[in-house]
A and B are shown apart, each in its own frame.
Chain A
Amino acid sequence: MAEVTLRKIVKSYGALEVVHGIDLDIAHNEFVVLVGPSGCGKSTTLRMIAGLEEVSGGEIAIGGRVVNTLPPRARNISMVFQNYALYPHMTVRENLGFSLKIAGRPPAEIDKATDEAAAILGLADYMDRTPGELSGGQRQRVAMGRAIVRHPDVFLFDEPLSNLDAKLRTQMRVEIKKLHQKVKTTIVYVTHDQVEAMTLADRIVIMKDGHIVQTGTPLEVFERPANTFVATFIGSPPMNLVDGVVAGGAVRFAGDVSLPVPPAFRGRVQEGQRVTYGFRADNLMPAGHAMTGIGETAEIDLTIALAEPLGAETILLSELAGVEIQGKMYNPRPVAAGERLSCLLALDHAHLFDAETGASLRT
């Protein structure tokens, strides 16, 4: 059993505090993804779990054992680094078997384990090459193989796919998902790519400036973002956000436009309250192209500024109360700039946030 528990974890470099008291419970065999913009403290948190970075405050436990002062080798973890960190002077076989050799396992067992890992990752043909003679994708797989030969309690991944091209990244993403299903282990995975986070995670942890902003399943954080930061960070294109004032069951925007308060938020707002109205492009569509069964809707007339055809759908750029917003047309036809379209907004998927703090008004 290897659950990972972080209690009030703080990290400071001198006087500079970069992680501010994080609490996180990761269950046995859970796949948790830490996601957030650059510099928010994801790597630092991961490296503290690995033991590569000293913990300035709080407590880290792996499998119920507090590990704060234990060196990495006493934690039974594996880590895949962003730039692979392979041993350049060893062959692929030696790279894979290194941890077992250090652990003093017999050569026969090492060979068996490395062959097994090589088979899973399709490395059998490269076993006698050195890392310098491999492509980026192959190196990435060696790094992964090195992590799995040991059957550790916890896998730590630090942006393992960020150096790969888009196609290979998609492919490796699937491989990692399969790997987790095959070798059930607790995984903590760091990325700043929200697509990776959504597709891989059992649970997503969204971080910003050294704080955890929201924790939840991919669908939870997508459908019920805790604040405007999560709303814009998760999902592509980012959620449309327009500032307005509550006035008689509706939110009134600049320029005398208004939209009804979404059903989930009725009774949670007061007359005259300043709010931010949020909705995704997926839920704003030309009336004639609307899907059926999208619940309560509101109608808005929009002037299309630009249409971006993506093939299966077309992204429509327009403007609401002086703010640029995006909608989607699901059965594309050519749209000219300047065309006026009557659009429907699915209110069940709209959100209200506090205009000052950005926090969701759902609770």
Chain B
Amino acid sequence: MTRFRRYARDHAVPLALLSPAVLVILLVVLLPLLFSFYTSFSNYRLIRPDSLWDWVGFRNYARVLGDGDFWSAFGRTVLFLTVALNLEMLLGLGLALMVNRITWGQRTMRTIMMFPMMFSPILVGFQFKYLFNDTIGLVNNALQSLGLASEPIPFLVDRWLAFAAISFAEIWMSTSIFAILILAGLFAMPKDPIEAARVDGCSNWQVFRHITLPFLMPFIYIAMTIRSLDVARAYDIVDVMTGGGPAGRTELLWTLIARTAYDDARMGRANAMAYFSILLSIFFTWFFFRKLMAARRHLGAF
């Protein structure tokens, strides 16, 4: 105790200056976190505040584990992540390589490339909802006028078509994140090893495969980390385009959690689900960070 007192006396000013920040973090981050963690062990329902004190132990977690809807949302989220991240990576890589080769008007191209990121995801969702709508949608109208389809295609109703439509919107919006980060990697890339490889007998493809790509991998993994967190918490686009429906066919983790928490008012159970889905995000972050570290170790000489 005396040691603590002496420490407090010696560092009075720094401690005093730090205290507001510490206080804010306690109030804004730690308290809600503890509270939500507690509620995941209770039968808390928003419409019955006194149920907050209804301690149910691990029942919420057990129910969630046995819940088919939860697991299909979980699986769909993982699939969504896999599809979106891989396609965004490939498209972003292609885009970055192309923009990198342009010598005239490259600045303008880089700015144009960023446009999709300037819109709110909600608006992007609305835009694609109307594009893919089966009666007034642009896509359906175009297909029918061109004689490519005889009747409207239910883009937002069919299980797989809706999944594809949502993926399309997500990819349209976020490919530029990959493109920009990979482009930064291409700008930072030293020219010498590429020239050495060309002299060593590499074709353009072999230079890309053996020299350029290994150098870009850390940049790709950074983009993957950012985007995996982003997609794992996807909510707005899906909610606007299909609302997780029809009949839960496009339900992702966070649309399910939001429905459970606010529509069904079962906050305790929703929080238990949220903790599971956070594990998913933590897993992806850990996974890509490990990849990133390994790739960077490889490039130690830079």
Please give, as numbers and ranges, the residues of chain A lying within 8 Å of B211 by CB-CB distance: 87
A88 at the interface (CB under 8 A from B): yes
B299 at the binding interface (Cβ < 8 Å): yes
B221 to chain A, nearest CB (A): 14
| Contact across chains for B202 and A81 when beta carbons are under 8 A apart | no
Interface residues of A in 122-171 (CB under 8 A from B): 130-133, 146, 150
Most buried by B among A77, A78, A89: A89
> Which residue of B195, B203, B215 contacts A89 across the interface (Cβ within 8 Å)?
B215
> Once the chains are docked, how many angstroms separate the CA of A73 from the CA of B194?
12
**A72, A130, A131: the one within 8 Å of B199 (CB):** A72
Known: A52-B195, A81-B192. A86 touches B200 (CB 8 A): no
Residue in chain A with minimal CB distance to B300: A132
A150 CA to B190 CA in the complex, in Å? 24
Majority-rule SS of B interface residues:
helix
The reply to whether B198 and A52 form a contact with Cβ atoms under 8 Å apart is: yes
8 Å CB contact of B301 from A98, A131, A146 = A131
In angstroms, how far is the closest chain A Cβ from the Cβ of B190? 8
> Would you call B201 and A102 a contact (CB within 8 A)?
yes
Given that A73-B201, A99-B201 are known contacts, is A88 also in contact with B196, CB under 8 Å in the complex?
A: no
Q: List chain A residues, Cβ under 8 A from B206.
A: 102
Task: Encode B183-215 as 1/0 by CB contact (under 8 A) with A.
Answer: 000000010110111111111001000110011
A33 and B206 CA atoms in complex are apart in Å by 32
Whether the pair A132, B195 counts as a contact (CB closer than 8 A) is: no
Q: Assuming the A-B contacts A89-B298, A89-B299, A130-B300, are A81 and B198 also in contact, with contact meaning beta carbons closer than 8 angstroms in the complex?
A: no
Whether B104 sits at the interface, judged by CB under 8 Å, is no
Best-buried of B195, B215, B299 by chain A (most CB within 10 Å): B195
Check if B35 is an interface residue, CB within 8 A of chain A.
no
Q: Are B301 and A73 in contact (CB under 8 A)?
A: no
Q: How far is the CB of A117 from chain B (nearest CB, A)?
A: 13
Q: Chain A residues with Cβ under 8 A from B202's Cβ? A: 73, 102
Residues on B with C-beta less than 8 A from A246 are: none
User: B196 near A102 (CB under 8 angstroms)?
Assistant: no
**Residue-wise interface mask of A (54-83) relative to B, using a CB-CB cutoff of 8 A (1 in contact, 0 not):** 000000000000000001110001110101
Complex CA–CA separation, A90 to B119 (angstroms)? 42
Instruction: Return chain B residues, CB-CB under 8 Å to A71.
Output: 198, 203
When A83-B192, A85-B192, A102-B202 are in contact, do A130 and B301 touch as well, CB less than 8 Å?
yes
Given A88-B300, A88-B302, A132-B300, do A81 and B214 touch, yes or no (CB 8 Å)? no
Cβ contact within 8 Å between A86 and B193: yes
B200/A146 in contact, CB under 8 A: yes
User: Are B200 and A88 interface neighbours, CB within 8 A?
Assistant: no
Cβ contacts under 8 Å, A98 to chain B? 197, 200, 210
B236: min CB distance to chain A, Å:
39
The answer to whether A50 has its CB under 8 Å from any CB of chain B is yes
Whether B199 contacts A73 by the Cβ 8 Å rule is yes
Is the Cβ of B192 less than 8 Å from the Cβ of A102?
A: no
Of all chain A residues, the one with the shortest Cβ separation from B194 is: A85
| A88-B206 Cα distance, complex, nearest whole Å | 16
Chain B residues with Cβ below 8 Å from A99 are 200-201
- CA gap between A84 and B192 in the complex, in Å: 8
Q: State the B residues within 8 Å of A (CB).
A: 190, 192-193, 195-203, 206, 210-211, 214-215, 298-302
Residues of A within 8 A of B (CB): 50-52, 71-73, 77-79, 81, 83-89, 98-99, 102-103, 130-133, 146, 150
Could you list 26 A-B pairs, sorted by A, with CB under 8 Å? Answer: A52-B195, A71-B203, A72-B195, A72-B198, A72-B199, A73-B199, A73-B201, A73-B202, A78-B199, A78-B200, A81-B195, A84-B192, A85-B192, A85-B196, A87-B193, A87-B196, A87-B210, A88-B298, A88-B299, A88-B301, A89-B299, A98-B200, A99-B201, A102-B201, A132-B300, A132-B302
Given A51-B198, A88-B300, list of 10 further CB < 8 A pairs? A51-B199, A52-B198, A73-B202, A83-B192, A85-B196, A86-B196, A88-B299, A102-B206, A130-B300, A132-B302
